[in-house]
Structure 1
Amino acid sequence: MLDLFSGLGTGVAISLALALFFVLAFEFINGFHDTANAVATVIYTKAMPPHLAVIASGIFNFFGVLLGGLGVAYAIVHLLPVDLLLDVGSGSGLIMVFALLASAIVWNLGTWYFGLPASSSHTLIGSILGVGIAHALMNGIDISKGVNVKKATDIMLSLLISPTLGFLIAAGLLLLLKKLWSTSRMHMTPEERKNTDGKKHPPFWTRVMLIASAMGVSFAHGSNDGQKGIGLLMLVLIGVAPAKFVVDLNSTTYQIERTRDAARHMSDFYISNEARLTQHIKLGHSNGTITLPPIFKCDVEQTLPTIDALVGKLDGIKTYEQLSMDDRRQVRRMILCLDDAAKKVSKLPELSGHEKSDLEKLRKDLNATTEYAPQWAIVAVALALGLGTMVGWKRIVLTVGEKIGNKGMTYSQGLSAQITATAAISIASFTGMPVSTTHVLSSAVAGTMVANKSGLQGGTVRSILLAWVLTLPITILLSGGLFWLGAQFIH
């Protein structure tokens, strides 16, 4: 990271510093919402002192980000239209980054101020969709092509289904605990425990499980939500400092060969299935190795020529340092276009499930040297999350512990909610789908309140649902409006 600003002009360096600040500020505020949820139950039940809990949570978040991979990071990035991804280094690309981050930060701060467990994931996705829709409208593009509709639909379904499952599973788990250990003190609230036994902490084994499950939520949160910040950070680095980040300069010869060979295999696949594919999509024809202009738009009819150009560019290359900055940028553009074409082909009904699976594996190999993140970027995001948790946890802890149900949370309710959230978020991270820690955990708490016959506080539930309903349209309008204003300014 030390040479991050070396070789950059003053204006570019300032833009880069400001953009990095915005990304890390978003992750810091994300800590107010989502990581605070990860430790809300363990703090409320007095299983851990607050400051020890948030420090431990920060450590587990750090390792979650470190070990969580990048599937979720690039699932978020690819919500953006490929035209914006191609031109992320342009003025409009930078306006896009600032618009979506400003929108997400404003909404997150507003909902945090009122103590509402609003979703940072939902907020970020709405902001991304906003700039994509605005870009489409401003350029006369069909909105369905202005955003990655399939990816957006998959993500929105995961955000909708995961809280429902969290509600049901946590309720079922609590009922199971009450059946197996009906007389256990784990079913007391902290206040009841104090009045009965004069103790402020949960029973020993219940306390151990509460701490373990809270750290599990923190780790799972880092592996899912932390990746969103990494994806945004990479957009900034690629846009402002392309010479260093447009491709992974630390790629090995083997990784570069994987990228080149994946392109070749894609060409073989398209040619062998040409009769079936041309009924729906034309991939063009190639007459040998060609050279594309440095700046070009994706055109599915240029797919085969683009493959030839990419293979020609990478033949004999052992390290990306051998390529000029313009050549590296062109390699990334070609990979993005080929990936976009492969996604379109994979949607065709003529392909079998096995063929679609093969194409997906080729896409993964193709992107091996472009979908990456430096270690310092991962660490920076993890630290921002942890620090945000330490500063803003109190409002959310009070909402989760006391304001969702009519009664305070029992130890077993907290345990059921945390185990459910850990499992749900971990599965989502493994499959590369972003989910909301906030929604999963708060809905799990609500499920335990219903199962425990504690009732729900209508006002809080209505406020949380209202925040959930309003997040998407407000962030879409806010980020789209900021993008439009920024575009007017640069033009």
Structure 2
Amino acid sequence: MVTTLLVAVVALALIFDYTNGFHDAANSIATIVSTKVLTPFQAVLLAAVFNFAAYFFIKDHKVANTVAKTVHEEFITLHVVLAGLIAAITWNLTTWWFGIPSSSSHTLIGGFAGAGITNALSMGNHAMAAINSAYIFKIIAYIVLAPFIGLFIAYFITILILHICKRAKPAVAERWFKRLQLVSAAALSFAHGTNDAQKVMGILYVSLVAAKVVTSGAPMPEWIPLACYSAIALGTMSGGWKIVKTMGSKITKITPLEGVAAETAGAVTLFITEHFAIPVSTTHTITGSIIGVGLTKRVSAVRWGVTINLVWAWIITIPISAIIAGLVFMLVRHW
């Protein structure tokens, strides 16, 4: 019974990682596609390669550790993880279908936390007994902070580039920035891999602990990062064209110069947060970066109506995922 359930959990975790890849492919490639530097196929290939490349460089998995500790260990069962994954996949596919660039990271964390809370309540504990508030509050804080960090970095990078290149011939500058955008898009894809693949690693690790396959605190089995980086890279190869359209053209019009600035800002933000073991949303980060680029032209250059709709999607992602997970847990806990 436990073996069957564990196999189901591992399969669903990798399916989620795959959906994370095609859902979040837009984060890495939207600007480089909208500026026509690469074709959509070339762009997803670039993103997939650098998503997977993170496997060879990131070995400490600090973000995975943070995700694993969002729910207290005594309330984590395979049913909790299963319910959280089903909820996360459901919300990921729903937002992808409607072209809404919501956060796959927060979907997963919301689902995991919601199932954990429901388990705590079913055991006669109060709701917050299941939640490690220090980790959850840090994650919630960066729902707000990550876009603003990306925004400010992108704004200042754009201003700096414009100052440095103010005497350059427009045709020459555009040619160079199209080349540089290959580098910045690769950096953002690499950073996306380092941050997002680790979240599922944390979920898989606690699943093995709950199933008593490994003891808590033991090193993570090597197959987990390999499988997670592979799944997210394959998902990225599948693209996510509805979200690409939203990210690449509906927020603000992007030039190659601005694409370089936005992607660089997004990558820098993700590298910083990964260093401090903070699981942030790549979607939120690059959206803030694109807005920061738009603000260098004028406030009206940003389509605020579209942006406000995105913010609402961000706000409801964790609670909706938590509610779905709670309902699913009630259905599957006796399986």
- TM-score tier by shorter-chain length is over 0.9
Cα distance, 1:146–1:20 mapped onto 2, change above 3 Å: closer
How far 1:32 moved relative to its partner?
2.1
The within-5 A match list for 1:48-63 is 48-63=38-53
Deviations 1:441-487 (A, max 9, x none): 01110121122225222432122111111112111111112112323
Q: Which residue of 2 aligns with 1:225?
A: 196
Q: What is the aligned counterpart of 1:236 among 187, 200, 207? A: 207
CA contact (8 A) 1:65 1:227 kept: no
Unaligned runs of 5+ in 1: 1-10, 86-92, 187-192, 248-331, 333-366
Deviations 1:25-45 (A, max 9, x none): 101111122233112212221
The within-5 A match list for 1:194-233 is 203-233=174-204
CA contact (8 A) 1:66 1:378 kept: no
Cα distance, 1:98–1:215 mapped onto 2, change above 3 Å: same
Q: Which residue of 1 aligns with 2:321?
A: 475
Q: What is the aligned counterpart of 2:231 among 384, 389, 394? A: 384
The within-5 A match list for 1:258-407 is 332=216, 367=217, 370=218, 372-405=219-252
Q: Which residue of 2 aligns with 1:76?
A: 67
Cα distance, 1:147–1:210 mapped onto 2, change above 3 Å: same
CA contact (8 A) 1:163 1:443 kept: yes
> C-alpha separation between the residues in 1 aligned to 2:4 and 2:130?
30
Please tell me the residue identity of whatever aligns with 1:54: V
> C-alpha separation between the residues in 2 aligned to 1:18 and 1:137?
24
CA contact (8 A) 1:118 1:464 kept: yes
How far 1:421 moved relative to its partner?
0.7
My pick for the range that moved more, 215-224 or 48-57, is 48-57
Please tell me the residue identity of whatever aligns with 1:84: F
> C-alpha separation between the residues in 2 aligned to 1:183 and 1:137?
65
Q: Which residue of 2 aligns with 1:136?
A: 120
1:462 equivalenced with 2:308 (yes/no): yes
TM-score normalized by the length of structure 2: 0.92
How far 1:230 moved relative to its partner?
1.1
- Helix, strand or coil: the match of 1:203? helix
1:111 equivalenced with 2:111 (yes/no): no
**% identity of equivalent residues:** 33
Q: Give 1 or 2: higher helix fraction.
A: 2
Deviations 1:366-395 (A, max 9, x none): x3xx1x333322121112111211213322
1:171 equivalenced with 2:155 (yes/no): yes
> C-alpha separation between the residues in 1 aligned to 2:111 and 2:4?
24
Please tell me the residue identity of whatever aligns with 2:181: L
> C-alpha separation between the residues in 2 aligned to 1:136 and 1:169?
41
> C-alpha separation between the residues in 1 aligned to 2:105 and 2:62?
15
> C-alpha separation between the residues in 2 aligned to 1:203 and 1:137?
58
Please tell me the residue identity of whatever aligns with 1:481: L
1:445 equivalenced with 2:255 (yes/no): no
- Helix, strand or coil: the match of 2:238? helix
Cα distance, 1:22–1:108 mapped onto 2, change above 3 Å: same
CA contact (8 A) 2:24 2:240 kept: no
Please tell me the residue identity of whatever aligns with 2:221: P
CA contact (8 A) 1:123 1:471 kept: yes
- Helix, strand or coil: the match of 2:124? coil
> C-alpha separation between the residues in 1 aligned to 2:256 and 2:126?
52
> C-alpha separation between the residues in 1 aligned to 2:273 and 2:174?
32
Cα distance, 1:158–1:105 mapped onto 2, change above 3 Å: same
Please tell me the residue identity of whatever aligns with 2:162: K
> C-alpha separation between the residues in 2 aligned to 1:185 and 1:417?
22
Cα distance, 1:184–1:112 mapped onto 2, change above 3 Å: farther
Please tell me the residue identity of whatever aligns with 1:133: I
CA contact (8 A) 2:80 2:115 kept: yes
CA contact (8 A) 2:6 2:78 kept: no
How far 1:13 moved relative to its partner?
4.7
TM-score normalized by the length of structure 1: 0.64
CA contact (8 A) 1:58 1:382 kept: no
How far 1:184 moved relative to its partner?
4.7
May I ask how many residue pairs the two structures share in their alignment?
333
> C-alpha separation between the residues in 2 aligned to 1:383 and 1:449?
34
Please tell me the residue identity of whatever aligns with 1:19: V
1:19 equivalenced with 2:9 (yes/no): yes
- Helix, strand or coil: the match of 1:392? coil
Q: What is the aligned counterpart of 1:485 among 297, 307, 331? A: 331
Cα distance, 1:146–1:376 mapped onto 2, change above 3 Å: closer
CA contact (8 A) 2:26 2:247 kept: no
RMSD: 2.1
Unaligned runs of 5+ in 2: none
